[in-house]
């Protein structure tokens, strides 16, 4: 190796805090390699028998399942391939040069000779492996947080903050099955804001959005923690009340209707009130959700036809 490369290798994290001249002779069996941008150094499931020291340039680490996404970037003074050294298994990631890169590849048996020769190298190698595991743990936590965020966005209505129809299908089905299994009554409700189009046409969509959020919040506050509540679409909401028979469902529906009727929508100098119509279908049989929604929707339609701001039971 030339003097420039020697100086760069001496600064590598593997040789930190030690006398490099005491082990320099052990690197005579090592090979130097020049990678062009885009060239692979390590590939998933391809055996790796070297610890690779980055002399100059940069390497991009990409997870096998997402080779188009960069997981980490490694530069001069760092190394790669240490996990294969420890566990003897092929790499789990793809490592490619992101620019022209010069590598010093140390065979595994030479690395272990260096470890046996120097406590400093053993300590440094342990630190490298621990650092890699720590970074992977951080990446895993970030990935899980991102996944949870995506799940939240997929199942929660962005405007009102209540669950949406994507969440409804599974959540309603599970609760219905549990109630039917225990021979407990449950009720499906469909609620719709009366004359909502008039609100939008008269006051604008911003006020319409405020109305939707106010109605959703008011209903949420009046329901039990065990009740399921979703924005079904537009100005329509769906609810599933477990352990609720016809008599109690009527009481709940009237309480919701009255709560909305008594709520004032405020925006600047504007104040007004809206009402809701509700259709309900109580049952204790595990019928298809679509059928029960249809029945509650039919009852809701009748409530609208009868003058709105009222509760109607299907049947």
Whether residues 81 and 186 fall in one domain: no
Q: Using an 8 Å Cβ cutoff, are 91 and 42 in contact?
A: yes
If asked whether residues 181 and 215 sit together in one domain, one would say yes
pTM of the model: 0.57
What average pLDDT score do residues 8-14 get?
A: 86
- Own/partner pairs, 167-173, CB within 8 angstroms, 24+ separation: 167/230, 168/228, 168/230, 168/232, 168/238, 169/289, 171/228, 172/228, 172/238, 172/240, 172/289, 173/289
Q: Strand 93-97 and strand 40-42: pairing?
A: antiparallel
Name which of 51-65, 93-107, 245-259 the model is least confident about: 51-65
Whether 50 and 184 share a structural domain: no
Q: 115: left (phi > 0), else alpha (psi -120 to 50), else beta?
A: alpha
Q: Are residues 308 and 172 in the same domain?
A: yes
CATH code at position 284: 3.30.70.270
pLDDT at 138: 57
Same domain, yes or no, for 66 and 175? no
Q: Are residues 103 and 53 in contact, defined by beta-carbon separation less than 8 angstroms?
A: yes
Distance CA 69, CA 94 (A): 10
pLDDT tens digits, one per residue of 184-226: 999 999 999 999 999 999 999 999 999 999 999 999 999 999 9
Q: 98: domain range?
A: 3-148
115 close to 121: Cβ distance less than 8 angstroms: yes
Catalytic center residues? 235
User: Looking at the structure, do residues 180 and 57 belong to the same domain, yes or no?
Assistant: no
- How far, in Å, CA of 25 to CA of 1, rounded? 11
Name 252's Cβ contacts closer than 8 Å, sequence gap at least 6. Answer: 187, 189, 222, 223, 241, 244
Kindly indicate the confidence band of residue 125, based on its pLDDT and cuts at 50, 70 and 90. Answer: confident
| Count of the separate structural domains present in the chain | 2
DSSP letters, 52-115, are EEEEESEEEEEEGGGTTSEEEEEETT-EE-HHHHHH----SEEEEESS-EEEEEEEHHHHHHHH
Q: Determine contact, residues 100/93, Cβ cutoff 8 Å.
A: no
Distance CA 232, CA 277 (A): 14
Residues 143 and 169 in one domain: no
Asked if 156 and 167 count as a contact pair (C-beta separation under 8 A), the reply is yes
pLDDT, position 243: 94
Residue 10 neighbours by CB under 8 Å, 6+ apart: 20
- Evaluate if residue 145 carries a pLDDT over 60: no
Same domain, yes or no: 102 and 211: no
Contacts for 304 with CB less than 8 Å, ≥ 6 apart: 192, 194, 277
Region 137-147: mean pLDDT is 54
Residue 155 lies in a domain: no
Q: Nearest CA to 24 among 52, 51, 49, 3?
A: 3
Three-point CA angle 257, 259, 260, nearest 5°: 70
CB atoms within 10 A of CB 303: 26
Backbone phi and psi for residue 89, each to the nearest 5 degrees, phi listed first = -110, 160
Identify the top-confidence range among 14-28, 79-93, 201-215. Answer: 201-215
* pLDDT score, position 273: 96
- Strand ranges of the sheet holding 236-242, from the earlier edge strand across to the other edge: 228-233, 236-242, 186-193, 276-283, 311-313
User: Residue 294: its pLDDT value, please?
Assistant: 95
* 199 & 136 share domain: no
Domain identity same for 142 and 175: no
Task: Give yes or no: residues 139 and 169 share one domain.
Answer: no
What average pLDDT does range 274-292 have in this prediction? 91
Tokens describing residue 288: 């298809």
Q: Do 98 and 49 reside in the same domain of the chain?
A: yes
pLDDT (0 to 100) of residue 252: 97
Give residue 92's pLDDT.
79
For residue 85, is it within any domain?
A: yes
């Amino acid at each position: 190796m030339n003097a420039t490369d020697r100086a760069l290798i001496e600064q590598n994290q593997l040789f930190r805090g030690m006398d490099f001249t005491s082990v320099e002779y052990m690197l005579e069996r090592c090979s130097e390699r020049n990678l062009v941008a885009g060239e692979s150094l390590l590939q998933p499931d391809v055996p790796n028998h070297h610890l690779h020291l980055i002399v100059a340039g940069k390497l991009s680490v990409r997870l096998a399942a997402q080779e188009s996404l960069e997981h980490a970037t490694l530069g001069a003074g760092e190394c790669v391939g240490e996990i294969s050294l420890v566990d003897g298994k092929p790499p789990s990631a793809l490592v490619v040069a992101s620019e022209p890169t010069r590598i010093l590849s140390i065979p595994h048996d030479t690395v272990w000779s260096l470890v046996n020769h120097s406590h400093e190298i053993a300590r440094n190698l342990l630190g490298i492996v621990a650092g890699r595991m720590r970074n992977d743990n951080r990446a895993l936590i970030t990935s899980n947080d991102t996944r949870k965020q995506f799940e939240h966005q997929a199942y929660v209505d962005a405007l009102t903050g209540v669950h949406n129809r994507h969440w409804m299908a599974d959540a309603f089905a599970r609760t219905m099955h549990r109630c039917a299994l225990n021979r407990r009554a449950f009720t499906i409700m469909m609620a719709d804001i009366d004359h909502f189009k008039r609100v939008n046409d008269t006051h604008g969509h911003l006020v319409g959005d405020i109305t939707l959020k106010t109605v959703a919040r008011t209903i949420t506050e009046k329901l039990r923690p065990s009740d399921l509540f979703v924005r079904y679409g537009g100005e329509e909401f769906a609810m599933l009340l477990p352990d609720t028979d016809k008599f109690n469902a009527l009481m709940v529906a009237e309480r919701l209707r009255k709560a909305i009727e008594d709520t004032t929508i405020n925006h600047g100098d504007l104040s007004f009130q809206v009402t809701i119509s509700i259709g309900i279908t109580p049952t204790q049989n595990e019928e298809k959700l679509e059928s029960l929604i249809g029945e509650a929707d039919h009852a809701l339609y009748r409530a609208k036809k009868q003058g709105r701001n009222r509760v109607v039971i299907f049947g």
